[in-house]
Structure formats: structure tokens, C-alpha cells
Structure 1
Amino acid sequence: MSTTPTFSHDGIAYGCDYNPEQWDRSVWREDVALMQEAGVDLVALNIFGWSHLEPRPGEFDFAGLDEILDLLHEAGIRVNLGTGTASAPPWLTFRHPEILPETEDGTTRFPGGRQAWCPSSAVFRRYALELVERVAERYGEHPAVELWHVSNELGCHNALCYDDESAEAFRGWLRARYETIERLNTAWGTSFWSQQYSDFAEILPPRLTLSSRNPSQVIDFHRFSSDELLGYYRAELEVLRRHSSVPVTTNFMVTAHIRNLDYWQWAPEMDVVANDHYLDNRLADPTAELAFASDLTRGLAGGGAWLLMEQSTGAVNWQPQNLAKAPGEMTRNSLTHVAKGAEAICFFQWRASLQGSEKFHSALLPHAGTDSDVWREVVELGGTLDRLDEITGTRVQADVALVFSWENWWAADGESRPTHAIDHLSQVHAVHASLRRLGHTVDVVRPGADLSAYRLVVVPNLYLVRDREAAVVSDFVAAGGHAVVTFFSGIADEEDRVRPGGYPGAFRELLGVNVEEFAPVLPGQVLTLASGRTATAWSERTRARGAEIVDSFADGPSAGRPAITRNRIAGGGDAWYLATNLDAGALDEVLRDAAAGAGALPQGDPDQPGLEVVRRADEGRSYLFLINHSTNDVELPASGRELVTGEPVDSIARVPAGAVRVIREDRTR
């Protein structure tokens, strides 16, 4: 039996979560018929099925799951079968309250919601794996099952658990990492505040303290917690592998508000990378964040195909203001994901629930039923995806890369940092959004990744970086590549130890600058540069050590010092440094100049900022996605056959306001 099965679907999958246990059996056949009408061909089942499959300890009832699997199979609909372990049934937490998670303030979180279990709990794992064994034995060879779905959104609520069992597991993880207590003391800098340990037994998770906590300990606890849940995934995977050759995955949460798992470590364990993404209307530009999340998910998939496992047709239920999507927005969101590599478009959920926490979460089949605009758009999207089936197997074309890591996110947003007016992800989003406005498609890569395929690499706010990872950027520039590094980068090594000799530490020689001191400013204060550009929040007392000064601070605490520099490297490469938080217009100017110097040509037209342009291609095939986020009709030069409408395109493609057009180009570029 192969240990690396490949996910294969006939064209682009169109799917949803289905929870038949919420509905009387009389509804099931109607649901399956409506799925066929909508074009749904991949259904996630048994995601939260534990209490139905095992209503009492050791007593299993598979009759309902048997029936719905057979109904879907008869209808030609494939199944993404969940292991059912996402939330423990009430009998388990009643009998074993020790499995409940504990927060950093030492309080227990109780059942009644979901994920009320601690990742380090041996008791939970024993019961969960028994369920997985039963499910895998029964359905491992079922002809409807196309994909296994381990648990659900692992770590969404319970990634960080601080109880005694987690503490013991954390100590074991630390022993394996450091081997000796002396090595740990050095790594954590425990000479500060009399924190030196004499034995691993003395170490606790970073529970709440009266002061700020040891930052190296906090980062290691994040690393441990991500590894602990990954170990749980592997345990379920091992059971599934014994009974089935079907590919296995779980749904990531590459999104703005979830940060506790290091998906660079998780992605190689997946047979296919899958992600859940919901528009976050708490952000200034939710659509820009969607584009970043898709690019990052594609990066996790090694540039290849990935699956959008969940999104919403309209409003969610968990934001302070749950905004409905405008007509056409759901389709536009979906095709943006496809443009950026997704080869499955799935939704939570099929039929809107009548009870429970998510009763006001939108669905493919809304409370209003089939006589609704949402349903009509759902059916139309199914037909559109069918017409796009031929693009599968192509890859997104990009010659700009952006470096991002979760462990840097944990470190850069530490409790004790130069200013809390800036957070790491907002810096990453700002750079990605600028490149998107300029018409560039961006690959998001991990620190240390091979950069040879790119012309321009942007390194935003990479506070924590290993020497070997920084060397990859330096070598890239030495070989003729172009890089842009932004402030608060290169400062600390993997143990969160500051590099002495001046900032930006690991990138100091590459950039030809030396920063003596950070000089952030208060929120609301605007900094002016000599060119008239403006910035906020951050300045630095920088000296050029070989770099050309492109712009300087005209006022503020760093007045007269360099704000933007460019270091020309022998061999043709350039290394830019941004020592401040440029406003959007100024950032666009600098990145436009850097991209032009690198020879990175935009796919889109920067003069039409509402038009997002992405190309997917392979040998002999090329498809141009034109996504119009604006309220105006737009045009772009193109030739070929448009797949959404089936119409020919002769020299000019016209994209109505809010629409998407996908052109099979006449020639490969």
C-alpha cells in the first residue's frame, strides 16, 4: 500500500460540508437531488459525528452513515470522509474531565462548544483513535470515499493548553530539543531575572505571570504546541494508512486571526494541502487578505494544486458584524482561489442549520430555500467550475516572492517589543497588498526556500531568522537577484537572541547599513521624508555603510537619517532597505522601482487597481484570470477563448463590474 497517495478528482471539485445527522432521514434524498442540480460532486461527511457514531462508550452505530454514503455514491458524488474526532461527545468529558483544556490563566474550559480537549491528553487520544480505527475499518475501501479528513480545523480553539499533562509533554519536548538543562538555559537566556533552571522538572508552560514572560520560552511553547497537534494528526494518519489507500489531509486555517500552528512543518505531512478561508470583515481590505491567504496556501502546496475546504456563500456567524456578500461576490471569491491554485471549491455548509451556534451561518442551501438569489448563484457557480475543468494541472506563474514564517510571527509580536502600534501580519499584508496593486502575482515562501526562480524577493518584518536562512537571501542577491527588506528584520536568531553589532543584524552586510537605535513614534504621528513621502509608527537611526541613500527622514526622532536605501551588489543584484512604515502610496512607489529594476513585469495593469490578473500555465497551455473587484467595466489586451461565457476574445478582453473572465490564451507565455 502506497504511503503517499495522490488526490485525484475529475476536474475542479465543487463541494460542501454535509451534516445529515441534523436532519430527518426524509430530507436526505432531497438533499442529494439538489446537490446534483447544483453540480456538487464532493461532500465532507462525519466531521462532527462522534456522538452519533458512538452514542455511549464502546457502543457504535453506523447505520446512518452507511445510508448516506450509499445515497451519495449512487448519485455519483464523492466523499471527503471525516474521522469524526473534532469534538468529544458529552459522555467522554463527563467520565474523563481531565481531558479538558486549561488556559494560560490556569482556568479550565468546559464542554458545550467544540474542541473541548487538550492536545496532550493521552485519554482523549486513546478514545479518539479507537473511533478512527472503527471508521477506517468500515469505510477504508468504500467506493465513494475519495479523501480522508482528519479531525477538523485542528488547533482552532485548543492549540495552546497549559495543564499539567501539557507541562510534562512540554518538558519531554524540551529534553529532546536541548538534551541538557545547561543548553536550555543558554538558549532561553535564563541568566536574566534569576530564571536559571537546575532541572527540566522545574519548567512549566508559560502561564500568566505578573510581568512579561521569557520570550524564548513562549516561542518554544508555540513550537511545542504546533508539534503536539501535528503528532496527533500523525497518530490518526497511521490508523487510516492501515486500512485505506485513500489520500489523507486536514483543513488548515491560513487566515488573519489564526496563528498557532506552523504550517510549514505540517504541509509535508499532507497528501494534499487543504485550507479553510472566510472573509474577515474586521480588516480594512478583506479581499486583499483573501489573495494573500491563497498565495500562502499555494506556497504550502509547493506551488501546486490545493483544496479550498471551506468558505461561505455569505455571512458567517462569529464576527462582531456578520456581513452578507453582495451578488456575485461569492463567485468572485471562489474564482480568485481557483486563479491562485485551488482545484476544489467547497463550502461550509450544504444546508443552513436550524439550531446550534451556527444557525445564522450562510450555506449553499439557505433558510430561504431554492427560490433565492443565493441558490441561483450556487447553481451558476457549479456550471462555471465545470467549464473551468480544463485548467487543472496548470501552475500559477509568479516571479516575485514574499518570505513569511509562523515562528517569526510569534516572535515579532512578543510581549516586549519596540512598539505595539505595529504587528507583524499587518506588515506582511501591506507588502503583499502593494505588490497586488502593482499587478504582480506573489509566491509566499518560507525562510530558506530556494529563490532561484524569482526576480524580486521581499522580506517584510522578518525579525527572527536563522543565519542560513538569511544567507539564502544574500546569495540570491549576489547571483543577480533583487531584494527588498523592511524594518525590524534580521534582529534575532532562532532562540530570540539579538545579534550584536547593530541592526538589521543578519542582513546588515547585504543591505550596507547599520542601525544604531529604533525610534518608533506615537500612534497618529506622521513622519515626512525628504522626498515628500510620508510614513508612520516607526523610524530608525540608520547609517549608510556602502548603501545609496534613496530617501531620508525630514522630521521626527530620526531626522536627517536614511529612511530608504539601496545597496548595489557586484554581479548586478540590488538590496533595498525600508527603515520606516511607509504609507501605501509611498510603498507602492518603492516596490514599483524595485520590481522594475529586477525585471519583474506585472501581469496586471497598475492603472486599473480593481482588476486582479493571474496566469496559470504549463507546457502548451496558458489561462489568464481577470478578476474585476471594481464597480466599473474594465478592459485588458488578451486573445483566445473565454471559458466562463464561451465567447472568443480578439485582442481585447472586457470584464464587467464585479465579474471574472478566464481566457484560454492563444499561446503560452
Structure 2
Amino acid sequence: MEKSLNLSHLVLGVCYYPEHWEASLWAEDLRRMKEHGIEVVRIGEFAWSKIEPREGVFDFSFFDRFLDLCQQEHMRVVFGTPTCTPPAWLTEKYPEVLNAREDGVFYRHGLRQHHNYTSEVYLAFCDRIVTQMAIHYGRHPAVAGWQIDNEFNCEVNEYHSESDQQAFRLFLKARFQTLENLNEKMGTVFWNQTYTSWEEIFLPRPAPSKGYNPHLKLMEKRFISEAVIRYCKRQAEILRRYIPQEAFITTNGIFGNLDSHELTETTLSFMTYDSYPNFAFDGNSNPKEPGAFNDRRSSWSLTRCRSISPNFGIMEQQSGPGGWVSRMRQPSPKPGQMRLWTWQSFAHGADAVSYFRWRTAPVGTEIYWHGLLNYSNEPTRRLRELAQVSTEARRLADLAGTKYRAAIAMLKDYSNQWDSELDEWRHQDAISDTGWYEASQVCHAPMDFVYLPEDGSQRTVELEELLHYKLLVYPHPAILTSERAELLRRYVEAGGILVFGVRTGYKDEYGRCPMRPMPGYAMQLAGVKVEDFTIQSPADEPETVDWDGEQLPAPEFHEILVPLEGTKVLGHFCGSYYDGEPALTVRELGKGRVYYYGAAFTRETAAVFLQKLELAETFGALVSVPWDVEVAVRGEGVQETLFLLNYQGEVRRARVHVPMENCFTGEVLCGEAELPAYGVAPLRRLR
């Protein structure tokens, strides 16, 4: 079942913290929000002590007053469970609820997410606060839905408390049953790591270097994901016992060591994301890269969220300059950028956008994380932009429920993602992930992500879902199971195009390297065998691959390929000791074909693939734009809406090839059209 947001129109919201403000401000704040198009406020995710000020003592009066006022003002509420920040009375009396560093030293009270997910003591306290909230507030008419906790695994995503060690051993026992099986699967024979008792097994502890057992480290990530999902599901099951059936349950953010797809499938109504495009800048407010791929790079994260929930929500949309007292210095959005970022989210499948936050906090660590209003509470240009967005959202209300359209998809999975995070030989993963996504952007070929389910997952990905795409790119699936290879074979035989890159299929599901030819289960599928391979030496000249006279960059890692019968060589290496050796092959299989590239994919290389496969400029019959303008499309038929998004502070010009109407202005465009700095143009064909 699709886990998507289901709304009748585009919705705007804002994060609000009534505990930060005098109650005398509440009514005026809500009225000002409504005047600017806000329909929903998110509250409560850090307010445990406002409900349980002392152990076992509950006081509901504070949020009673606020929720009653919201009902009076016709403002809907998303209520957060406050378990991200346990109160001081809890952590001081019950230190076993705290998370710990590798050396066992506790993370103490004072920030957030200082707890662990496995302490039965903490879980019992969470059960009680969530139950009390659900009973008391669950059927309040102002409450539309619930957010569980806040940004799982955001501050830290590793756990080393005593309860975590015990839970990890239970996790491994369930997976491997016997120590003999665990020792064999985890390769503990290496460096004399063999275990003779379950109590000898620990999550990684301080060592002379970070050379932990890589197979056990991969299991650690799977364990953390399972622990977080169990923690979230426990709260969701309590809420469901008391809240109306139509009330939704979600959480916000997509962070490390967590299978967010499985989390949503088993626990949530849909996923929401926290979109901060200025994270494309470094801590000193410098662009990570010159050009147009700074805030535009947020589309990558929105694509990832869309792979979980095709219609999703933004729980926190950046509205002002950002930063904590201690880190994350981010500049203010330039005039027009907040509006641009909002429509970037809508264009990629969001049907609700909630800004962070209404007014900048006057106290605490986030006093520099600015909201729509500054400390002074006076009107700002950001508030004026919000009013403009609200007007535009009403004009495009029927966008809600429509789907983002893409003809190509990148295949992903959590096992390879987690394995690549700890494997220094897998730098090509990051190069190719960025390369393919940026190529899809500059070639105006909208791309989806499709996450293949993990072993034992409740999710499935069926052949029909894959056949929605003309091209699937699975750049470097080092871990490739026979089941996944079989699914991909069926996709190709039915007419799909599949692209693999270097280092495919040489590991099993535990991250071991079996004694078999590479690329493992992809060998018969792609029709190639790897004869030799090497990491590119920094001392060598940059390697290229010649494809019909076109020189493709081939960074990071190289495989010399031996084509099997029926496989055609398309490209050869240029340089080094393997000059002239096969580097790119294609095999026809059924109605489709499989390409294998013996290197990593840069933006330039991936762009050549898109052009040669005739998949660039997907909507080129409708509009032509410069490379630094994003093209995104939602809907079909009369609801097909083509978005042009200009991330540059300069005017860009487009050419509209058929008469189209600007949904914001009503202007009919055909021929040359101007896109202002940070401009947005949603276009629909005339009927």
C-alpha cells in the first residue's frame, strides 16, 4: 500500500513553540499566520516537562489552553511526541536511559537525543507519556495528526549503552541462531576474533584504529535501524489505540543508519522531510561548489523522500538564516529564495510545506536559527514572500495528489549505502551518485530513486514498478543478491535498459567477497567478466574511456572487462598499462539491454549516457531552458504542470515551444520567455 500524504489542496504550515512565548502572544500569532495562508502548526516535540513536570505528575493545562485557542481560530495542529528530549528529572534518576560513546561515557542532559532506543526503563517512560498524551489530546478537534519524536538519528546515529550491547547480542542471536554460524558469516577467523560466548560480542569499542570487523559493522547498522523502527512502532501503536482513524502519524527527516522505507511501511502514514537548502554551504557560508548546484542540490534529498512517499510533507522548510550558537553558520535566503525553495519542494512531490519557524527563538542553542519573523516580531520580507506563496498555492491547489514524472530511476538499497560508508575502497559510490543525479538535472531528464527492499523486509518492489522507467541505473551494487539479479533480468527482458558501473556484485549480503568471478550474479546478466582491476593512482594521468570517439572521464577505479558471447564492446580505456582494453560493454537481453561501465560515473559521463540513450531533455518538445534551470513535472493530462526553477541570481531565458499558461499569472507563453532571478514558472498547456 502506498504510504502517501492525501490532501485536497496544497497546504502551508509553520513550526510553533507556545512554550517559548507568553500566552498573551498566542492569539495574535495565530491570526497573523492565517492572514498569510498558514493552516497548520506543528507543536510539542520538545515539551515533555510541560506535560509531566515531575515523575508521574501530569498537567495538561498548558496545551489544553493552546489547543482550545487553535480550535477557536480554526488552526489545525500536528502534535509531536516529546521523546527526543527526556527531562532532567528522568535522566538524572535513571542514567541507564542515556546513550554513550564508544568508551562507555554517557551523553548527558542538555542537548537533545541524549537517550538510547533500547533501555526498557526509557521505553516504559515513553510508553507512559505517549499514552497520557494520546488519551488526553488524541481526540481534540484541533489535532489533525501526530509526529513521532524528532529527526531520528540526527545528532548521533551510533549507540553504546549497556542496554544497546545487550540488545545487539539478542539481535545477532535472532539472526544467526548459533555462535558457530555467526563466526562463519562474520569472518571472525580473521585476526583471531572468534567468539566463544555471546557476552564476548560488543558494539565497536575503542581500538588502535577504525579497522573494525566490516561484516559486524554492517550488522551494527542493521541493528540500529531495527531498534529505531521498533521504538517508533511502539509509540505509533499506542497512538493508534486512542486517536481517530483519519488522524495521521508521521515523523520528520531522513538520517543515517535507518531504513526509512521500512520505517514508513511498517509504522507511518507517510514520511515528512526537513528541507534546508543552505546546507549546501559549508560551516563558513562558502558554497561547496561554484555554480548552480548549491541549494539546487536539495532536490536530491527531496527525490529520496519521494521514493518513500510519492506525495510527502515538508515538516521544516528553511525560512531564514540558520545556525546554532556552536555551529552551522548559514546565510539568509536572498529575496525570492524562500519562495523558490518552497516551490522546489512542491515540484518534487510535497503537498504540504511547514516553515521552520514562526518567530526566531530568543533563548537557547538555536537563537540564530531564524524564522519567518525576527526577534522584533515586526514584518519581514520573508513574511511578504509567504503571502505571495500562499496566493500562488491557492491558484495551483489541484496540484495536490498528482505525481512527479520521471522516465529514469536510480536503484538504491540500504545494504550498499551502509557498506559504502565504512569501505574506503568504495569512493566511486559517492562520485557516481552525484554524477548521475547532476547529469539528470543538467540534461533536464527528471529522475526518481527506487530503493530495493532489504532481506526480511515487509516491503516489496514488483516488476511493474520497475517497468515504469525506461532506464534503471544501479551504479555500484557491490552487494548484489541472486534475487535482485533475477528481478533485474526480468526488467531487461521486458524491454528495460539497465546500467551497471565498476565494482558490481563482488560481495555477498554480509559484505564478504566470495570465491567467484566478478561481477558475481551480474556476470550473466551483463555478459561480462572482470579480468583485472585497480584503484586509480593519484600519480597517474586522469583516465578516459573512448566511446565512438567521445572521451568519457573514468575516475577512481577501473575494471578490465572480458565480454562473454553475445556481448558487444562499446568503449576502451585510453592510457595506463591497460590502454585499449575493454571498458564499456552492452548486452541485448530479450527486448532490453544491459550496459556495464568499468569506472565511476561523473556528471559528464552520465550526461553522455543520457544523450546516447536518447533520454536527455525528456520534455524538450515543450520547452528548452539553460542547463542551470531545473525542469520538474507533476501530473498528467489537464493537470500536467511543468515547473521551471531558476536557482541563479540572474535572469534566465527559456523557449516555450507550444502555447502554455503560467499558472501564477495567467499569461500565455509561446516563444522566448524570461525567468527572473530565483524565479519559478509553473506552466500548463492550453486546452
Q: Distance in 1 between matches of 2:37 and 2:599?
A: 50
Shift of 1:605: 6.1
In the alignment, what sits opposite 1:331? 339
CA contact (8 A) 1:289 1:429 kept: no
Q: TM-score, normalised by structure 2?
A: 0.90
Q: 1:511 to 1:217 in 2, by over 3 A?
A: same
Q: Distance in 1 between matches of 2:3 and 2:68?
A: 24
Q: 1:593 to 1:521 in 2, by over 3 A?
A: same
Shift of 1:321: 3.8
Q: 1:36 aligns with which of 34, 37, 40?
A: 34
Q: Distance in 2 between matches of 1:287 and 1:567?
A: 38
Q: Distance in 2 between matches of 1:522 and 1:34?
A: 60
Q: Deviations over 1:4-33 (max 9, x none)?
A: 998554411111211110111121122112
CA contact (8 A) 1:644 1:661 kept: yes
Shift of 1:544: 2.7
CA contact (8 A) 1:565 1:576 kept: yes
SS in 2 for 1:275: strand
In the alignment, what sits opposite 1:470? 485
CA contact (8 A) 1:86 1:151 kept: yes
In the alignment, what sits opposite 1:660? 680
Please show how residues 53-92 of structure 1 align to structure 2 within 5 Å.
53-92=51-90
Q: Distance in 1 between matches of 2:341 and 2:158?
A: 31
CA contact (8 A) 2:7 2:400 kept: no
More displaced, 617-626 or 402-411? Answer: 617-626
Are 2:491 and 1:494 equivalent residues in the alignment? no
CA contact (8 A) 1:447 1:465 kept: no
CA contact (8 A) 1:611 1:627 kept: yes
Q: 1:644 to 1:288 in 2, by over 3 A?
A: same
Q: Distance in 2 between matches of 1:247 and 1:219?
A: 36
Percent sequence identity is: 27
Aligned AA for 1:457? L
Q: 2:555 aligns with which of 536, 543, 547?
A: 536
Q: Distance in 2 between matches of 1:603 and 1:232?
A: 49
Shift of 1:183: 2.3
Shift of 1:618: 4.5
Please show how residues 166-185 of structure 1 align to structure 2 within 5 Å.
166-185=164-183
Q: Deviations over 1:231-277 (max 9, x none)?
A: 111111111111112434333423xxx32211121121211221112
Q: 2:448 aligns with which of 443, 448, 458?
A: 443
SS in 2 for 1:330: helix
More displaced, 15-24 or 63-72? Answer: 63-72
In the alignment, what sits opposite 2:318? 312
Q: Distance in 2 between matches of 1:343 and 1:437?
A: 25
Aligned AA for 2:352? A
Q: Distance in 2 between matches of 1:638 and 1:156?
A: 46
Q: 1:508 to 1:308 in 2, by over 3 A?
A: same
SS in 1 for 2:303: helix
CA contact (8 A) 2:530 2:562 kept: yes
In the alignment, what sits opposite 2:433? 428
Are 2:217 and 1:218 equivalent residues in the alignment? yes
Q: TM-score, normalised by structure 1?
A: 0.92
Q: 1:398 to 1:171 in 2, by over 3 A?
A: same
The alignment's C-alpha RMSD in Å is 2.5
Are 2:468 and 1:453 equivalent residues in the alignment? yes
Shift of 1:209: 2.5
SS in 2 for 1:519: strand
Aligned AA for 1:110? R
Shift of 1:132: 0.8
Q: Distance in 2 between matches of 1:307 and 1:84?
A: 20
SS in 2 for 1:357: coil
Aligned AA for 1:251? T
Q: 1:263 aligns with which of 233, 247, 260?
A: 260
SS in 1 for 2:613: helix
In the alignment, what sits opposite 1:614? 632
Q: 2:610 aligns with which of 579, 591, 607?
A: 591
SS in 1 for 2:422: coil
Q: Distance in 2 between matches of 1:607 and 1:529?
A: 29
In the alignment, what sits opposite 2:233? 234
Q: Distance in 2 between matches of 1:7 and 1:616?
A: 15
In the alignment, what sits opposite 1:634? 653
Aligned AA for 2:226? D
Q: Distance in 2 between matches of 1:605 and 1:193?
A: 60
Q: 1:251 to 1:366 in 2, by over 3 A?
A: farther
CA contact (8 A) 2:157 2:256 kept: no
Q: 1:387 aligns with which of 373, 395, 398?
A: 395
Are 2:485 and 1:480 equivalent residues in the alignment? no
Q: Distance in 2 between matches of 1:87 and 1:53?
A: 13
Are 2:641 and 1:623 equivalent residues in the alignment? yes
CA contact (8 A) 1:400 1:442 kept: yes
In the alignment, what sits opposite 2:420? 412
SS in 1 for 2:111: coil
Are 2:136 and 1:130 equivalent residues in the alignment? no
Q: Deviations over 1:368-404 (max 9, x none)?
A: 5443222211222222222221111211122211111
Shift of 1:653: 5.6
Question: Structure 2, unaligned stretches of length 5 or more?
Answer: 283-287, 454-460
In the alignment, what sits opposite 2:456? none
Q: 1:203 to 1:638 in 2, by over 3 A?
A: farther
Count of paired positions: 655
More displaced, 635-644 or 401-410? Answer: 635-644
Q: Distance in 1 between matches of 2:160 and 2:499?
A: 39
CA contact (8 A) 2:7 2:401 kept: no
SS in 1 for 2:551: coil
Q: 1:458 to 1:654 in 2, by over 3 A?
A: same
In the alignment, what sits opposite 1:164? 162
Aligned AA for 1:447? L
Question: Structure 1, unaligned stretches of length 5 or more?
Answer: none
Q: 1:567 aligns with which of 558, 571, 587?
A: 587
Aligned AA for 1:549? V
SS in 2 for 1:44: strand
Q: Distance in 2 between matches of 1:368 and 1:537?
A: 52
More displaced, 377-386 or 312-321? Answer: 312-321
Shift of 1:621: 2.7
CA contact (8 A) 2:431 2:600 kept: no
SS in 1 for 2:318: coil
Aligned AA for 1:278? Y
